Chains A and B, each alone.
Chain A
Amino acid sequence: MSEDHRGALDAYIRSCSDGRGRQWLEDAWREATAPDIAHERLATLCAMAARRLGRTPCPGAATALATPHGAVHLGPWSPGDAGRALLVLAAPAPARPERCRALYATGDEGERISLVRALALVVADAGLRDLALEAGRTNNLALFAALVGHNPYPAAVYDDHEFNQLVLKALFMGLPITAVVGLPARANAELSRMCEDYVDERRAAGREVPADIWLALVPRMSPRGRAQVMAALAAADPAQRRHAATAMVAAGAADPGLREAVEDMLAREDDETVRAAVPRPWHPPHP
């Protein structure tokens, strides 16, 4: 698999790096593939990569790479991210998890973000689950977002408890869980229970509930959660109404009452953006 990724990453970097960047990449690749490269040298290259290759995503060059864990979209990647992934992929496959861990250990925020984004490209199995879990303990918003958003690796290798903690922490940190890969498929009753408790806790404190919490809460909710989301249909914040209704529509196949409640709500809804955003698959398309 990795041959393809190397080519795609290399092409991505070349599409928006200047001549000096491309030369640096060639030299760095030669060094990084040498079997005896010292960690200090590799770590130095990793630190330099973003400065040498570029730290903003290349517009129009975005592509998706297929991995056993799901697709990795290069959209948010910078050439520096891709260069750091190549530094890991320069090692033979069996040595990659260790190289990735070592670079993470000596990396700064930007390097760690790059490595976390690359997890699904670096290993074909759950061999870096430990590193993903360690990264998930950060309180750094940017690093946590690289793990939780648009990243297929956690959902592919985490157990339910780990996945649930990841989703709840994203909600705590104010990150949109719409970006969590695998959320509908990994929804479970314990996640619903945790979200229901969180809604109660926030309301008891007189605080707002994250508007998209309903996407995690509704799929396997209890009667308590059902009452909570019904109430959210009448929330003052349009984002609350939109996410609550969207989640209820998805769960409505098993619970027709949910769809009826959404129909009633949409009939009264005066916010065009909410009406437009809520899918109604049971409605025949307009002629």
Chain B
Amino acid sequence: MQYFDPHIHMLSRTTDDYEHMAAAGIIGVVEPAFWQGQPRTHAGTFLDYFDSLVGWERFRASQFGIHHYCTMGINPKEANNVPLAEAVMEALPRYCEKDGVVAVGEIGYDDMTAAEERFFTAQMRLAMDHDLPVLIHTPHRDKKRGTERSIAIVRESGIDEERVIIDHLNEQTLPLVMETGCWRGHSIYPHTKMSEERMVALLQRYGTEKMVVNSAADWGRSDPLKVPKTGRAMAAAGFDEATIEKVLFHNPVDFYAMSGRISREDLGPISVDQTRLWEDNSVLRGQTPVVP
């Protein structure tokens, strides 16, 4: 079985994680731009972070046979530093044109402040200008209200709802998104957010259409193998292989494929990506791949 983790912060993870992910069948990831655990104080720090997402981290993933894509945006938490957010907004257009960028995100609400709403709205516009889909983060606190207001922002923006995924959903907020054309994201966490078993129950109740599962693994307690583990939980609950593949591979890839910069075909079987790096450049000395 092959898997795709559509939301994982690899910059915070180790090479052990990459090895375990590759061994578990994960062949591609999307790394959304987010905050890094403490607020940044310079726009330049953001830009270096963005450069890592389109550069070094992408290369690092390729060394383990994993395709790496990312989303670009200023996250709701740091949107509250208005001068900083304004400076970052100025640079975002060119990042939206980088090759590995498949959406604008994570954007949305944290504390539901006026500043958050301003940059949320501005970035919906940015996504439409660059013909990119949107990844929306829903808040930890006052989640139901935050999800309702996020849906309202989507509708006001005029974007096609099919081009939006609303993430970190749970039993309370999924039904709200089921009423829209938006895709449905679920983050499986060891202790918070959502578990594999609860996810299976949601799939049994609401079906598999536009349903997406991710690990959202980052610098906190989290597990980069939650997507394959959800696959095992689905199998144990009686889902067949085709359905598991649909939810844990085809759905997320098809969502991000609306960017035109990723497709199921791009994710064809690879051993280790050094071969791809070198096929246009006859200087590879048949290095031994790092993983399988």
Answer yes or no: are A and B bound together in one complex.
Answer: yes
**Per a CB cutoff under 8 Å, which of B51, B99, B280, B283 touches A176?**
B283
A99 to B53, CA, bound (A): 24
Q: A106-B94, A174-B287 are in contact. Are A76 and B282 (CB under 8 A)?
A: yes
B59 touching A40 by the CB < 8 A rule? no
Count, chain A residues at interface, CB 8 A: 30
Q: Kindly provide the distance from the CB of B67 to the nearest chain A CB, expressed in whole angstroms.
A: 14
Q: Kindly provide the distance from the CB of A25 to the nearest chain B CB, expressed in whole angstroms.
A: 16
A132 to B156, CA, bound (A): 48
Q: Which residues of B contact A55 (CB under 8 A)?
A: 280
What total count of A-B pairs have CB within 8 Å? Answer: 68
Render B40-64 as a binary contact track against A, CB cut-off 8 A, 1 for contact: 0000000000010011101100000
A43 to B277, CA, bound (A): 23
Q: Which residues of B contact A149 (CB under 8 A)?
A: 281, 283
Q: Which residues of A contact B100 (CB under 8 A)?
A: 108
Q: Which residues of A contact B287 (CB under 8 A)?
A: 174
Q: Which residues of A contact B58 (CB under 8 A)?
A: 109
Q: Which residues of B contact A150 (CB under 8 A)?
A: 281, 283
A76 to B58, CA, bound (A): 21
Question: What does DSSP make chain A's interface, helix, strand, loop or mixed?
Answer: helix
Q: Kindly provide the distance from the CB of A181 to the nearest chain B CB, expressed in whole angstroms.
A: 12
A141 touching B274 by the CB < 8 A rule? yes
Asked if A179 is at the interface (CB within 8 A of a chain B CB), the reply is yes
**Per a CB cutoff under 8 Å, which of A57, A142, A146, A212 touches B59?**
A142
Q: A108-B55, A109-B58, A149-B283 are in contact. Are A47 and B99 (CB under 8 A)?
A: yes
A44 to B274, CA, bound (A): 27
Besides the known contacts A40-B90, A76-B282, 5 further A-B residue pairs in the complex with CB atoms under 8 A apart: A44-B97, A47-B94, A110-B99, A140-B55, A149-B281
Residues of B at the A interface (CB closer than 8 Å) are 51, 54-56, 58-59, 90-91, 93-95, 97-100, 261, 274, 277-278, 280-285, 287
